[in-house]
Amino acid sequence: MPPRRLLILLFLLALSTLPAAARAADGAPVVLVVGDSISAGYGLAPGQVWVDLLAARLKSEGYRHRMVNASISGDTTAGGRARLPALLAQHRPAVVVLELGGNDGLRGGALKSTRENLDAMVVAAQKAGARVLLLGMKLPPNYGPAYTREFDALFAGVAAARKTAFVPFLFEGFGDDNSLFQADRIHPTAAAQPKLLANVWPALVPLLGRR
């Protein structure tokens, strides 16, 4: 037998002898979360952030998906756009959840750039074969009505243009409750994390496919 064919045969034989659980884990579809401190779990203990709660719920509901949390505190849409290609190549996700833009708005950045960055990330994820869920955010009113309206609308605009799943406001249902935010009034507490998951879950489930 030619050496090349022999090597291929040996590789396939080795693969077939792996434990079934290991092979299943290797083939599990990936849900990739690309976000900022809200999803990175700023101020929270390990395991408390909504992404961790999502991983646990996926398991309890019988989904074999594997969570990859690529969120970084302080990240912007420009930062997410720059690092997304490598994340897509490394993890080959089935679903990409984009939770970025809040820091752009809080810093008073040019919203045209924010929109372009989000759009580029959606397009890149879709071209890589992933389904996309875009999580919207809102700004406090002290940023001025015109700026806050434009900020609010850009998420819906990108979602509509690219036909992605969409959560209009990640803090829906508790955004005005100061008791569910840390002292900075920006980052939700541990008690708020199940509410974040509750807002994400209905939009995410249709993207997961088979259990």
Per-block average pLDDT, block size 10, for the chain (211 residues)? 46 37 62 98 97 98 97 98 98 98 96 98 98 97 95 98 98 97 97 98 96 83
Q: Specify the number of domains making up the chain.
A: 1
Please check whether residue 15 lies inside any domain of the structure: no
Please check whether residue 12 lies inside any domain of the structure: no
Q: What is the pLDDT of residue 21?
A: 32
Please check whether residue 4 lies inside any domain of the structure: no
Please check whether residue 90 lies inside any domain of the structure: yes
Q: What is the pLDDT of residue 27?
A: 86
Q: Which one of 65, 104, 119, 187 is the catalytic residue? A: 187
Please check whether residue 34 lies inside any domain of the structure: yes
CATH number, residue 195: 3.40.50.1110
* Domain, as residue range, for 91: 21-208
Catalytic, 37? Answer: yes
Please check whether residue 40 lies inside any domain of the structure: yes
Entry pTM = 0.87
Q: What is the pLDDT of residue 148?
A: 96
Catalytic, 113? Answer: no
Tokens of 132: 């996309």
Q: What is the pLDDT of residue 12?
A: 38
Distance CA(99)–CA(134), nearest Å, equals 7
On whether the CB atoms of residues 192 and 152 are closer than 8 A, the answer is no
Helix orientation angle between 50-60 and 193-208, rounded to the nearest 10 degrees: 50
Q: What is the pLDDT of residue 56?
A: 98
Strand order in the sheet with 165-167: 66-69, 30-35, 95-99, 131-135, 165-167
Q: Which one of 16, 60, 176, 184 is the catalytic residue? A: 184
pLDDT digits (tens, 9 = 90+) for 24-50: 345 899 999 999 999 999 999 999 999
Q: Which one of 16, 26, 37, 179 is the catalytic residue? A: 37
Please check whether residue 175 lies inside any domain of the structure: yes
Catalytic, 119? Answer: no
Please check whether residue 203 lies inside any domain of the structure: yes
